[in-house]
Structure 1
Amino acid sequence: MEIVHLLRAAAVELGLHSARFAQHNGMHPTDVRALIALMDARRAGAETTAGRLGAALGLNSAGTTALLDRLERAGHVRRVRGETDRRRVVVEVTDGAVDLGWAFFGPLIERSVELLRGYDDHQRAAIRDFLDGVRTAAAEGTHTPPTDTSQREPQHGNTR
């Protein structure tokens, strides 16, 4: 359980770090999530439509349009014709947004990479598998209705 609690604490700190970035740059936390999703797509060589981005963020069409309008006005994204299908409009993150993100998150990324250098290939594979499993479990949890915990007994010495 100690590792699970450390993971939760790290997730909280990462969320706070992201919130500081958003506040420092006059963004909403959803703006930051959108930019991260678009940067991940760019890194994977994938095209992202507004609809796909909205679905990934849990936004309706109007919310997605407002988000993209806001990010486009700020110079963080652009809408362009798709490479594979010129009829489609895809959303791309701008180099300026990548630079802005790197200026803020770069030191944390570099520190994380440095920490990983202390582990051998086998250990890094185990860390990767664990984090991927947690990410998958969290994603699956967004589709699962909460269970009624009112009848549960407290566990691990916790009291209500």
Structure 2
Amino acid sequence: MEEPDALERQRLRSRLVDLLNTYSSEAQHIGHAFAGRHHLHATDMHALLAIMHAERQGAPLTPGRLGEAIGLSSGATTALIDRLEKGGHLRRTRESADRRVVHLRYGEAGMALAQAFFTPLAPRTDAVMEDFGVAELQVVERFLAGMVASLIGYRDELRAK
């Protein structure tokens, strides 16, 4: 006979995986809606998210690092960057002493479109987070960071095969 903690852990594992899958699916639906309204490809959305996340972390992506992050060849990455830059979604900058190094930044026009589309979602997510204390949110942060790291590790293994 299993202990009550083991049964609850098993139930939670199953429920959390289901919730993460549902969250991922719903987030993709919203992302596809944004992409569809602004004539973007799914790959464009992945690129813009990678660029936004890198900027938030204070480490803007280079074209090579963007290609690695989303699994594109050099040529496909260049075509993607050209398309997104033409549409005002991103801009190339030269910020280092080495003028050959190009960094990718979210474009002002693209940021305005994203803010207009996603801002109505913010009060909904804020309302959910307000139901949790700081310590609880820190646990959620640690959990989600671990889950993301596990997915990235598995993705990298798949790419290596």
TM-score with structure 1 setting the length = 0.84
User: Within 5 A, what are the aligned runs for 1:9-88?
Assistant: 9-88=22-101
Counterpart in the other structure of 2:147: 134
Unaligned regions of 5+ residues in structure 1, if any?
Answer: 146-160
Residue pair 2:90, 2:105 contacting (<8 A) in 1 also: yes
More helix by share: 2
Percent identity, aligned pairs only, is: 37
- Structure 2 counterpart of 1:93: 106
Distance in 1, matches of 2:100 and 2:63, equals 14
4+ residue runs of structure 1 moved beyond 6 angstroms?
none
CA contact (8 A) 1:48 1:90 kept: yes
> What number of residue pairs does the alignment pair up?
145
Q: Displacement of 1:143 after TM fit?
A: 2.5
Q: How far has the Cα of 1:87 moved from its partner?
A: 2.9
Q: Which is further off, 136-145 or 14-23?
A: 136-145
Aligned to 1:2: 15
**SS class of match (1:26):** coil
By how many angstroms is 1:86 displaced? Answer: 2.8
Quick one: distance in 1 between partners of 2:142 and 2:60? 26
Q: Find the aligned partners of 2:56 and 2:157 in 1 and give their Cα distance.
A: 30
Question: Displacement of 1:84 after TM fit?
Answer: 5.0
